[in-house]
Structures are given as structure tokens and as C-alpha cells.
Structure 1
């Protein structure tokens, strides 16, 4: 029976930061995956679909997450620069807003970081205590997101005591030995890299324990067969030549989807998918229409079958990352990855104040300095090999082409090899066609883009909702294209804290906590008491708040 003809499935997303498919269930698919100890996620894969070729849209947090929550390419909607406040086109919608409008109870625990401020009406609850168990009744389907920070790059480099505390639930038997760490060839065999790799695996195990706890709660509630469970990461591991790089190590992701009784179990899907495809895939499984504006495509059919080839190509890009300005575009087919570096005179490992404090980054800088000193003594540089040296070279190739099947670590650039000219031409053309089809706002100077979004540095404001109250039925409308309308019966609490006043959360775009539950407006509503209405447009200031009181002939607007 289709979801439209019965109760819609629950949806549970478990996400983590900064990992490649370094889970035990990816052994034989991703090099070195067998090093990890991940029994809970391995079990999830055994009762679901493991996607073997899943790719992020960008190799860094917020641009990638913006693609996942919207189903759109960051370069097409303007969310490609790390740490910005984009103003997407008016037809862009957020997945939880669509699901909430369709009757889902939507929660987010707790991280957001989608490159835009989130309207309060998007989630029923967005907080450290958000949980499906808080929904009003057991019959209401839920969309619950849990974002784990255990594997974030910052955790790799904690002081020993802090790292021990962060991994306290990892048993000694599951600890990873630095001596056996499967370092890829682009990492020098130095203590900093072996320690970081072993810690990376320990953190993945700690994350697996956390994910197992969430899955245990789902089982305790008897919801396994009623719930689509998705596990994903935002981009590659938090080490050089991975996170922030448009390579396999920056973009290749673990992705597992399980729904017992509805999806294949223990299956490996080999077709190319974007994590951006998650939004339309969830809508398809839930029996909800997919907006035309979404760029992603479903990776599963409405009946739960695996789509053999969802995408002919997977695309990605690297743009400004903090203060590091750069631009690269990449396209991947079933075998080859092509990268176009549009500023080849810039080093790939640009200085970034945040990342350059990490030991692995410092180790690369130190080795580059050591080689400079060798040259000063008339010696041949020997601290790194050519593959490692390329990571810290002061320039990069204008074009790169790698045979991922034969060379999974992308060590041999085939762009100048005439034997691969046909592949090079084909992927060049695919990249150009993608840009023509969807646009690429990264080509615009960022100041020009900002001026388009916020003339003279000022945010536009969403228009105050239009209101009609007739015979106790309230109708809302908006003159702002792309506006989301919402209403509540709870008065404002002026002293309530606003989470956006805290600098880290302001950057992440978390919605303010004004103590009120805002309902999405989908159709005229019967009212018998005061109602407050607002309108939101992604990237705009919230509208003025409108009070509608059936007992009075007056309507009042209050500053939001």
C-alpha cells in the first residue's frame, strides 16, 4: 500500500561530520574502511541499502548541508561560499518545511548550518532536546534529525584528557592502533598523521555508539518498521587533502537508508547519488510531490526499489572557505573524476586561520619548510614524495583527471595524457552543460552577489501578511514571492532569549527561541480567539507580526 493511501512513514536522519565511508560495512568498497569498528551502523546497512557512490555537493560543512536540506546545488542557489547568508531564489524550499506542511512533526537536534537563517516555522522543535517522542500523539508521522558532532575535525586534535573524555564509551577492544592506520599515499608517514588517523577511527566508533543509542530508542518505541532511517555525513574527513578539497576524499560519503519490509536489505547500490538527492528521495517514499525547483533526483522508487543509475554524473565545487578565496568545479562519472581549478596560480592548501592550527596542517607546513631548507643547502628535497608535495605546492594544475577505479587515491593526473583525451573532453563538456543548465553564482564577484541580495548591506523585509477574517475563518496571504506563512495562538514573550544573539549560533543560522510554536499556514483556519501571524522569506528579515482578534474589529502589527 502506498504512503498516500495509508499512514505516511516516519523519517529519522542521523548525521555526522567530516567522514568518508570509513565504516566497517564499506570494507572492499572504500580503501581502509575495514580499519573502523562500527557495529551499529554495520547492522543498519545489513537491514537496508548501502550507497557505494554517494557524493557531497561541496567538501565543507555549510554549503554541503544547504544542498541536503534544499535538494539544490549550492552554486545554483548561492550557498556555495562557506560562512555566508544566502538569499536563495523564491522557489527554493526546505525539506522540513515541506514535510511539516504535509502533516509531519519535524524536529532538529540541534545543529543547523544551512547557510541561511531558519524561519521559526520550519521545525516544530529545533533544540538540544528535540526528539520524536515530543510529538503530540503516536499517530503523527515525524521527521527527526539528529546531528552528531563526535567526528568533527576539531575533535581530532583535542588535548589527551579531553579526547579520552570524548571517547569514553569506546571500549579498549575497539581502539585503533596508529601503527596500523591505513594512511593514504598523500599523507607523509609522520606521527601527526598516524595519531590523527587512529583518533579519527576512534571518533567514528564513538559516533557509532551514539547512533546506536538513537536506533535503540527507535526499537524501544516499536517504530523500526514504520520509520525510514538514514545515516549520512556532510563531506570528507577533517584532514588536509580531504575536507576543503574537491577530490574523492573531500566529497565521497557514507549513505545508508533502511526501512525494513519496504526497502531491500543488505543491498549495495552502485549508482551515482548526491547527498542532495536525499530530499527528493524522502518525498518520493512519503508519497509527497517533489517541487520542480529541486535539482536532486530520487535514489529509490516509490515502491522502495533501488534506482540503478539515478545520475549519469555527480557534480561538486569548492569556493570561498572562510578567508580562503578559491574556485574549483568537479564532475564524477562511474569511473573518472575531472577537476577544473579556476585559480591554478593559488595553492590548494590555502592559509585558513582555523585549520592551520591543526597538527596535520602544521606538519605539512613544517615539511614544506624542511624541504626549502634542504634546497638552501643545495640538497634535493626529500621530506615528502611528489604526491605529498603536491598538497602544499604553491600552485595546482588547471585541470585534473583521475581514474578512480585504478587509482582510488587520485595520485596520477591523467589530464595531459593523450590516451585519455576522449574522457577529458567528455567530462569537460558535462561540466559545461551542468553550469549552463543550473547556473553558477560562484562566477560572480561576491560583493556583486551581496549587493543583489542586500542592496547597500540591508536585508529586505518580508511583507506583512495579508489577512481576511470572515465568519470566524482566517485567510492569510503574502505579497512576497517565496514567503512562508505561519500562525500561533501564543502571545510573544518579550524577555525570551534569542539564540541568534549568540555568535556561534548566529553564524549557523539557528532560529530564535521565542517560546512559541508557530504553525505553517496551509489553508484557511477557524479561529475563536487572538491569533498572531508572520511571514518569512529565506534570506529576508521576518515580516512584522500581525495580531488578529475576532473579538475586535482592529488588527495590530508589532515589530517581529
Structure 2
């Protein structure tokens, strides 16, 4: 078969707040997103797509591995996990099968990324840099335009990051469709309008990538996927195991295979993208992946791929909390393992954002009302739950009748059967896949790095055979790469790049080892092995074939 190319376009911190989701997601009609609306019209729009976690690094780890974060240890924000040995990052499977794999530029997959994964992971990574125009490619582009931090820039900086949003496309704060759990204040209206302006700016950026595919004559042979990592960067969404924290836009175009105007109402994960892309390209799906392939190489969809979708929140920076959730087509059930802790635990970074500060300010004003012996009246009862000192141990919401999750149905005996069913579904999921979020993080880290020391990948063993250089590594789960580039200085990574796990930049091109390497001209070749969560191995200089001379 002719192998399709793949382009992933992702953004940060948005719900399905795109024009094409009008009538599906409350408030989506407020959006100005012509390019993404057109992309949806040309392919498939998934109306019930969900992240596995409501914050970026755990959510992205699920997308890039096809595995639940709670099962492989990537559920805390942030960490450096040592997943089970069978777990690899998705592009490595494509690279092993001959794809040119690039990432531009954001990573944050909860592991240090070995050079076996991408041919290029940099700010200039692009399919246009592949060595041969006939080489199929997997190219990921991760935009930062909609990250929550951008909402709160000063006016001059905000104008600079939304330079492609014309005056007619600016969103009016007075028309912002605030959900009922937010106070109707200038701070929240301004934040919602700015959030939407950033989405319009992001829509323009998406269009530039789609235009490049057209310019290169590749649009008809490329699967394009657009997704967000999790929900919007505001309270009760990002960092919360709620509908707004986990509900995602997911749009896919595959010309000639998936019909234009396709709409899918199945429950799906962004985690399902890993097995789906492999299956679509005719590659085997590893048995360890938890995601489900949504369609095959002929574009035929799997009906009801997931009876339920699951998710959870764990440590968010210094805020330690644990919640788990399960959703079917109608209900969302949430179990809070620490109901004595407030929903808005102090967390240094978001607590400095204006929407968080606004909630704290109003709560303080209500405390003054109480001090004067007056009844509180600045929040509604629903809004006050955000700043409460505790939360329910269990929550149940009817999302058809109550899309904003305003009425907890746990006490209502009319819903007792649904509550029991979803409790049982959550327990069965945890039993089947495991839940490392329920163990002490200190114990988990000690399992990964005994006595605080990372384990080291064994150096590859290289043997000269009649077919070429063959390599093996004795560390279970290790991948091997080789290079003809001699060792040189390694560029320093800034703190964010180190935290996100960006690969070290040593100026060398590492080739993923997948079989014997010919070296008839006697070139000096170095081999090295990487196991995710371990230190990389020492380098091994390959033997030179008898009679061959070193290249000069």
C-alpha cells in the first residue's frame, strides 16, 4: 500500500471552542475559526473526545505512548517516569518503518526523549527537511498560542501575540458565554474574550501549515490531525477532572479515505490516536497500548470503540490531590480521594493568574461580609464551591441535562443505579490497568531510581557479520541508534527544556538501528542505547571490517 504521511497539529489549553462545534459544545458559536471549521468540513469531527488528564504533561504522555498515565507512572505534573520496558514514544514505531519523523518543538511527554524517537526535534523541524521527497513522514507541530499564560499578558504583549486577529474578529467581552460557575466580572469576561482571540490566532497558524501541505502537493496524501492537550486554561477546567478539564476538540482529515463532513459521536480519547495512526498506516499496534484504533487503513470506523472514558488528576506542581473520573454517553462520575482538601489548592503558578486571583479576592470579600455579620452574596452557591475548603467525596452529573455540571446527583436515589454502575466501572478500570497515582510518589521514585540514582542502559554489543554490523543491548526495552558523526560538545538546555525532556542537542545525526548496518568503506561508527527512564549507555565504537580503511 502507499503509506500516507501524517501531520499532527496540536495546541494548548482549549475545549471544543471552535465554530465547527456550535450546537455541540456550549459557547462554541462565539469562536472565529475559519480554517479549522473548513478542516472539519473536509474530514471528520469527533464530538466526544477526551484527554486522559486535565494538564499538559500527563495528557501528552498518553497521546505519545497510547497508555494511561496512571498505568505507566506519568500522571503527576511534572515527573521523569521510567515506564514499563515495552513502552515507547509513538514516532519511534514510524521511524523504524522508514518514516521521517519530526517534532516542532514542544515536547513535555514526562520522559527524557532519546534521539531514537525523532529525526529532528527542534524549532526548524519540518517534513520539508526530509532527505528524499518520496520518504513518508510523521511531522508534529505543537503551537503555544493558546496556552493559559498568553491570556494574561499586558496589552502591548497581547497585541503582539494576536497580530493576525483583525479588528472584526476580536471577541467582545460583553458577549462572552461565561458558564454559571464563574462570577460575571470584568476579569472573567476579559479572560474569556482573550482566550477566544488566541484561538483565532491559533486558527491562522494552523492555516499556514495546511497551506504548506497544499504548496508541496501533499494535502491529498497526508492524514492531518488537530487536537488540544486538555481543557481551557481557567479554573474548574485545566487541572480539574471535569468535563471542561478533559473535553477536547479532535479533527481529522484523510482525503479520499474518510468522507468530508463526517461527524462521530463515539466516546474517544486523544490517547486513541497512537494506535489509530499505526493501524491507518498498516503498521502493527503493540499489544501493550491501552488506546483503541478508531479506524483502519480503509477509513472504516470502529463503532463504539469505548464504552467508557476515564481520566484523573494527580499532583499539580506542589498541589497534591487525587481524583478519578469515568464518563459514559450521559453521565460523569468523579471520585475525590481527598475530599478534605479544597478544589483550588494553593499552587504557585496559577495562583498568580488573574482569574484565580479574582476568585480569591471575591472569597476574601465574602469573608469580610461574614465578619460584619452580613450574609454572603458575591458568589452563587455554585461559584462558592470553587473556593470551598473541601469537596464532595463523590460527584455525579447528568451531562445531557446539566452540561456545566452544576447539580451533584450522588444524594438523589433516582440515580442510585447509575452511581453504582459507574463506581463499578471505575474500580474495574483501576483493577485492570493499575493506578500508580494511589501509591506514594516517593516510593514510586525509589522504584525508578533506587537510592536516588538512575539506572544506566547497558552499552550495545556490536558484532561484524557478513550482512553488516549487528547490535544488541542487554537492557530490556532499550533502543539502539548509530551515527557517523564524532562526539562533540552538547548544547545547554534551558530549565524548561530540561523539565520538558527535550532531547540533548549534540550536533550529531543519530540513525535508529533496525537491522545490520553496512560499513564497507570502514567509516568510524558509534553506537549507543537508550531505555526510557534510564541513563543512556556509554558509546561503543564499532569494529572496522577487515581490509577496510577508515574514512578520512
Using structure 2 for the length normalisation, give the TM-score. Answer: 0.98
Write the mapping of 1:470-489 to structure 2, written as runs, cut at 5 A. 470-471=465-466, 473-489=468-484
For residues 248 and 267 of structure 1, what CA distance do their matches in structure 2 show? 23
Q: Is the 8 A contact 1:264 1:305 kept in 2?
A: no
> Who is 2:532 aligned against?
538
Alpha-carbon shift at residue 416 of structure 1 (Å): 1.0
- 1:505 and 2:500 equivalent? no
CA RMSD of aligned residues (A): 1.1
Aligned-pair distance for 1:302?
A: 2.8
1:190-242 CA distance string (max 9 Å, x none): 11100000000000000000000000000111111100000000000000010
Which of 231, 234, 240 does residue 236 from structure 1 map onto? 231
Take 2:276 and 2:53, find their aligned partners in 1: how far apart are those partners?
20
Distance in 2 separating the partners of 1:22 and 1:314: 21
Partner of 1:522: 514
1:140-539 aligned within 5 A: 140-471=135-466, 473-493=468-488, 495-499=489-493, 502-528=494-520, 529-539=523-533
Q: CA deviation at 1:76?
A: 0.0
> What is aligned with 1:558?
none
1:55 aligned partner? 50
Contact 2:490 2:504 in 1 (8 A): no
3-state DSSP class of the match of 2:266?
coil
In 2, the alpha carbon distance for the partners of 1:302 and 1:219 equals: 22
Paired residues of 1:86 and 1:539 also in contact (CA < 8 A): yes
Q: CA deviation at 1:551?
A: 5.4
Provide the rounded CA distance (Å) in 2 between the counterparts of 1:332 and 1:405: 12
Please state whether the residue corresponding to 2:182 is helix, strand or coil: coil
In 2, are the aligned partners of 1:472 and 1:550 still within 8 Å (CA)?
Answer: no
Alpha-carbon offset, residue 496 of structure 1? 3.7
Report SS of the residue matched to 2:250.
strand
Bigger Cα displacement from structure 2, 466-475 vs 235-244: 466-475
Tell me, in whole angstroms, the C-alpha distance in 2 between the residues paired with 1:397 and 1:134: 53
Deviations 1:239-271 (A, max 9, x none): 001000000000000000101111121111000
User: Distance between the aligned counterparts of 2:4 and 2:280, measured in 1?
Assistant: 8
Cα deviations across residues 403-441 of structure 1 (Å, max 9, x unaligned)?
A: 001100000000111000000000000000000000000
2:464–2:545 CA contact under 8 A, matched in 1: no
CA contact (8 A) 1:472 1:527 kept: no
Partner in structure 1 of residue 80 of structure 2: 85
SS in 2 for 1:12: strand
* Secondary structure of the corresponding residue to residue 113 of structure 1: coil
2:17 paired with 1:22: yes
CA distance in 2, matches of 1:301, 1:413: 39
8 Å CA contact retained: 1:269, 1:308: no
Partner of 1:557 in structure 2?
none
Distance 1:467 1:339 in 2: 52
Q: Within 2, Cα distance between the matches of 1:30 and 1:337? A: 16
**Following TM superposition, by how much is the alpha carbon of 1:552 offset from its aligned partner in structure 2, in angstroms?**
7.5
Distance 1:215 1:340 in 2: 41
d(CA) in 1 for partners of 2:315 and 2:270?
21
Deviations 1:154-178 (A, max 9, x none): 0000001000000011011110000
Find runs of 4+ consecutive structure 1 residues off by over 3 angstroms: none
Contact 2:317–2:347 (Cα < 8 Å) also in 1: yes
Distance in 2 (CA, whole Å) between partners of 1:433 and 1:23 is: 35
Whether the aligned pair in 2 keeps the contact of 1:498 and 1:514 (CA below 8 Å) is: no
In the TM superposition, what is the alpha-carbon distance from 1:308 to its structure 2 partner?
Answer: 2.4
Separation in 2, partners of 1:323, 1:78:
17
- Deviations, residues 489-521 of structure 1 (Å, cap 9, x unaligned): 11111x24143xx21100000001111111111
Query: What's 2:92 paired with?
Result: 97
1:290 CA drift (Å): 0.2
Runs (5+) with no aligned partner, structure 2: 548-552
TM-score w.r.t. length of structure 1: 0.96
- Once residues 44 and 547 of structure 1 are traced to their aligned partners in structure 2, the CA distance between those partners, rounded to angstroms, is 49
**Whole-angstrom distance in 1 between the partners of 2:227 and 2:466:** 49
CA separation in 2, counterparts of 1:309 and 1:217?
35
